[in-house]
Every structure is written in structure tokens, then in C-alpha cells.
Chain A
Amino acid sequence: MNSYLLDAFKARFPEDTLETSSFRGDETVVIRKEALKAAALFLRDELGFDFLMDLTAVDYLPRQPRFELVCHFYSSKHNYRLRLKCPVTAEDPSAASLTPVWAGANWFEREVWDMFGIRFEGHPDLRRLLMYDGFEGHPLRKDYPLKKRQPRIAHRD
């Protein structure tokens, strides 16, 4: 059963909407990553979703496309939540940055870059956030071993 919101999305992005679904009351829209920024702007400016609550990624390793970028939006006006997802391939792990749309996306995107190695085009300052400079690899990828240790790097000022 799709709500008005999902239909509105389909009507606006007929080509780019890959899938809409609803599970346990959470509504999800899957779009092509090329339309991510346009969809975010549509959500913010026309549907009244003023909060970008969360931005993260999931690694579905054997599956193709491998990654999925997951954004959770919240509208304080309508008191409504929406999940926006877009698949990202392992060959081209990149997506458009939402930082110009929401300033709060800055660190979320840096964390995704740090943990999953997904680049954000147009991000003002894409650096590692949680791990240190010189850390090799991206720990939340499924092919990164849980207990892999790396040589310690001296503190830099």
C-alpha cells in the first residue's frame, strides 16, 4: 500500500524512481543516484522535509550494486518520516553531496567516506572523520576484517 507521498515521488521522478515500498510503517523510496540531489531538493522545498536526520550507507557485499546510500528525512511541519535510498556500485563509489542542501550533511558524508569509501562529489572538505590519517581501507566494508590491526601512526600536531 503506497501512500500519497510515494506516489508524488513517482509522479515527479518517473524515470529515476526505482522502487517504492513500505515496511512496518517506514516508507522507502529508491532512486537512481544521479537524481539524489534533485530528489533531496524536491523533498526539502516542495514536500516540506526540513530535517536531514541521518545519512549513512550499507554494504551488501556479494550483491550488485554493492552499496546503498540511505538518507532519513523528517518533516517537522507534517510530522512525517521518509527514507531515501540510492544504489551505488563498487566500481564507481561516488554520489552527489547533499552538503550544499543541508549543512548538517557535512559530517555524515565524511563518516560515510571514512567508513565505506563512498566519495561525495561537491563536498567542500572530504576527509576522514573517525579514523586517523594514514589509515588504510574503510572499516565498515564487509570485506574489511573485524580484527585487522594496522601499524600505529605517531601523533601529529
Chain B
Amino acid sequence: MGLETLFGHSYLTTRLDEAVNWARKYSFFQYPFVTACCGMEFMSTWASTYDIARFGAEYPRFSPRQADVLFVVGTVNEKLAPVLKRVYDQMCEPKWVVSFGVCATSGGFYDNYATVQGIDKIIPVDIYIPGCPPRPEAVLDALVKLQEKVSRESVLDRKYR
């Protein structure tokens, strides 16, 4: 990065939280749990025009065990709810959850026998993105908000569940 030429063989001091959070927030490995329509906007966010890579979160890990952020993209119904819970349980700490779109947030306009009225009935959620589906700009905004949230956390605070 060129920093080494600037500082030579010296060292930097910082708080542990700062250093850890800095590393965490710019290298989210996400697990896209894509179920429905929102997945199309998720694809758009991912692709070249909106380019989520600018925020250091471009790399999807399709194994929950290697992921930091669970993106729940789309409607979750009663049949899928146990699957989502299991995926969440498989993720290692520290982990965050983003609820993408109104269906994941509150069930949206699907209020019937089949749909779960918000994934927060099943797993804890950190960031909610409204919209049906949310525009890519809203997703990027949510990502920045998640980064802010991560930078406010302390390594000591996080309860290891």
C-alpha cells in the first residue's frame, strides 16, 4: 500500500477494538440466502453498475460456516423457516444478519397461512432494508449502516452464543 515506505520499520498503536472492527467491517464475507424477487435486486447490487465490491463485501461464501453476514433476501415461509434457522446456527461468531426487503422484515403484503411475518421471529436481525424490492442504492446504504454498527461494537461486548 505504500505505507511501509512512509513509516519504515516503525509500528502503529491503536485500540484493539478499532483494529479488529476496521478489519471486520471492510471484509464482510456474505452468505446470500436468496429466496425470492429481492434476489434480482441483490444480483444487480452485486454486478458491475452498483458494484458492492467497493464496500469490501463482494465475496459471497456459499457456506454459512465461512460467512460473516447473512443476507436474508426475500420471503421466508413456514416451510423454509427451519432451514433459515439452521443456516444461521451454522455461522460462526461474529455474525450479523441483514433482512433484505419487506418480506424478510415483516412479511410484506403476504399476510397469510404460508408466510412468516418477519425473520426476526426466527433469528436476530441487525439491519432491516425496506422496499419491495429495495433499490440497490438502499442495499448499499444498509451495508454502510452495518459497517457503522460494526465499528461501534467492542470485541469484549459481543456475547458468544
Contact = CB atoms under 8 A, between A and B. Distances in A.
Give yes or no for direct A-B contact (beta carbon below 8 Å).
Answer: yes
Interface of A: 130-132, 139, 144-150, 152-155
Given A132-B78, A150-B78, A155 B111 contact: no
A145 B83 CA distance: 26
B112 A146 contact: yes
Contacts, number: 28
B113 A139 contact: yes
A32 B79 CA distance: 36
B145 interface: no
Contacts of A150: 78, 113
Contacts of B85: 155
Give the interface size class of chain B: 10 to 19
B113 A154 contact: no
19 contacts: A130-B79, A131-B79, A131-B114, A132-B78, A132-B79, A139-B113, A144-B113, A147-B112, A147-B113, A148-B113, A149-B78, A149-B113, A150-B78, A152-B78, A152-B81, A152-B82, A154-B82, A155-B83, A155-B86
Contacts of B113: 139, 144-150
